[in-house]
Amino acid sequence: MSHSLSWNRKDLIDVEHLSREEIETIFSAATAFKQAMEADDKKQPYLNGRTVVNLFLEPSTRTRLAFEVAASRLSADTITVTGAASSLTKGETLRDTAQNMAALKADMIIMRHSASGAPHYLSKVVDIPVINAGDGSHAHPTQALLDAFTLLEKFGALDGKEITILGDILFSRVARSNIICLQKLGAKVTIAGPSTLVPKAFESMGATVCHDLQKALKNADAVMLLRIQHERQTSTHFPSLGEYTSMFGLNKERAQWLKPDAIIMHPGPINRGVEIDSELADSNRSVILEQVTNGIVVRMAILHLCYCHHKGIEIELPS
């Protein structure tokens, strides 16, 4: 069935570029895919005969698998290329790698890279859609969109809702993208954690910085936990993981500071017993696995919208 959705982007590089209307368009398409999935109508025809390349030059479980599932649910063929298995290890440039993929007639590239800005660069050197699956500490737009979609399912609307992001904000692309995305949807964002990982400079993004954990949790409608991103830290930002957990880990006692109906989120991977108590991660307040499931339909929506725009095809959705 054709829909009156409007979408004018070939690539998805950052939520910063999206208007609230564009974010809502992604969610309308994701809702249609979710309803179809729940009716066991999982496979859709919209990318039939197309080839989607997953170029993952940094480790990933959820994002890579969710993109693979999303592309395959849209009937595309998928190819996954990881850093260790590519000729990038032999000195080939990213530009040459990407242009070879386009020459092999790939129709879209999904890229994760340790360098901030790499997907943006790629989108300038190939004439096929490029989707950012996480670049350095810069942005993780599809994670922020699936997080907001999950919150909207819980709360209906985010205007005036208070969301606390707790953990390693400084090195987190998830935090940056969520701060931007949640505020575009009307939420108030507080960021919390040790001052070395939650610098005051983030207030320039509109978030409230809070180093008092009880204060940061008590008005939150949702708390989003982040792991410590050792892979991006070049110096020590707190004495030990044990001390981090004792000061900022979310445990059952601290969860009582939250409102009774507040939900617990985490983009994964979880470090159980560090930023979150294992029992809380598995409790009925946790929506962590719902986030993962929503990652499929939000990514189906993004692949579908970007490809339709690139080819000038009318947007169709499951009825």
Indicate the helix (H) or strand (E) that contains 119: helix 118-125
In whole angstroms, give the CA distance from residue 36 to residue 222. 28
Q: Which is nearer to ligand CP, 57 or 308 (CB)?
A: 57
Q: Which is nearer to ligand CP, 63 or 178 (CB)?
A: 63
CA atoms within 13 A on the CB side of 281: 18
Nearest distance from C-beta of residue 268 to ligand CP, angstroms: 5
Nearest distance from C-beta of residue 123 to ligand CP, angstroms: 20
Nearest distance from C-beta of residue 222 to ligand CP, angstroms: 16
Nearest distance from C-beta of residue 219 to ligand CP, angstroms: 26
Q: Which is nearer to ligand CP, 64 or 176 (CB)?
A: 64
How large is the greatest C-alpha to C-alpha distance in the chain, in angstroms? Answer: 57
Q: Put the strands of the sheet holding 263-265 in their side by side order.
A: 208-210, 188-192, 162-166, 222-225, 263-265
In whole angstroms, give the CA distance from residue 181 to residue 188. 11
Nearest distance from C-beta of residue 267 to ligand CP, angstroms: 4
Q: Which is nearer to ligand CP, 108 or 317 (CB)?
A: 108
Query: Which residues contribute to the site for ligand CP (CB under 6 A)?
Result: 60-64, 134, 143, 267-269
Q: Which is nearer to ligand CP, 61 or 283 (CB)?
A: 61
Residues 6+ apart with CB under 8 A from 227: 167, 168, 266, 269, 270, 271, 274, 275
Q: Which is nearer to ligand CP, 44 or 143 (CB)?
A: 143
In whole angstroms, give the CA distance from residue 317 to residue 186. 27
User: How long, in residues, is the chain?
Assistant: 319
What is the DSSP annotation of 199-223? -GGGGGGTPEEE--HHHHHHT-SEE
Nearest distance from C-beta of residue 62 to ligand CP, angstroms: 4
Q: Put the strands of the sheet holding 77-82 in their side by side order.
A: 77-82, 51-56, 108-113, 130-135
Nearest distance from C-beta of residue 288 to ligand CP, angstroms: 10
In whole angstroms, give the CA distance from residue 192 to residue 244. 12
Q: Which is nearer to ligand CP, 180 or 315 (CB)?
A: 180
